[in-house]
Amino acid sequence: MNNKKTPIIIAVAVALLLLGLFMIPKFTNPSRGSVAAWKEAGIECLTGGHQRLAQHFHSKLAIVVDGLQEVIPANVGLVNNCMAEIHTHDTTGALHVEALAANKIRRLKDFFTVWGKSINRDGYGLIMTVNGQPNFELGELILKDAQQIVLEYASNLQ
């Protein structure tokens, strides 16, 4: 082998190895599809955490299935270095609605998009109340501060 070409070959091999090491996590990241779905729905990733927010409020969501409270998981919408504009931090049902722009409208369906679930469930009827009053907006409900949203699914309401 030509001694003048050896350093070049080694440098190219090291560069390719480093490039591969940096790219592998991007292609093997299990949350990649989730973040793409959020972007498609117009839900941004907040990469600076809770910094520079122009909007931050909380709605409370409770889900009841055949009379039993369902737990909404903690950390819905939190992946790697990305925090969706609507997310949870704990299992209390508190939806954190945050944005870099003031007065950004978020709907209940946006949370379900981030969660990766449908608001409707096969085999169940659905009754929604907001602050104790019947509401028929379902996914189109505009989220507001201090709202108390209850989704009650019942298999006998089909």
What DSSP string describes 21-56?
HHHHHHHH-TTHHHHHHHHHTTPPEETTTTTT-SEE
Tens of pLDDT, residue by residue over 42-66, are 999 888 777 778 888 999 999 999 9
Q: Does domain 39-157 have CATH number 2.170.130?
A: yes
As a whole number of Å, the end-to-end CA separation of the chain is: 77
- Residues with pLDDT less than 70, the chain: 1-2, 13, 15-33, 157-158
pLDDT value of residue 22 = 59
CB atoms under 10 Å from CB of 77, counted, come to: 27
**What is the domain partition of the chain in residue ranges?**
39-157
In terms of pTM, does the model score above 0.85?
no
- Partners of 126 in the beta sheet? 153
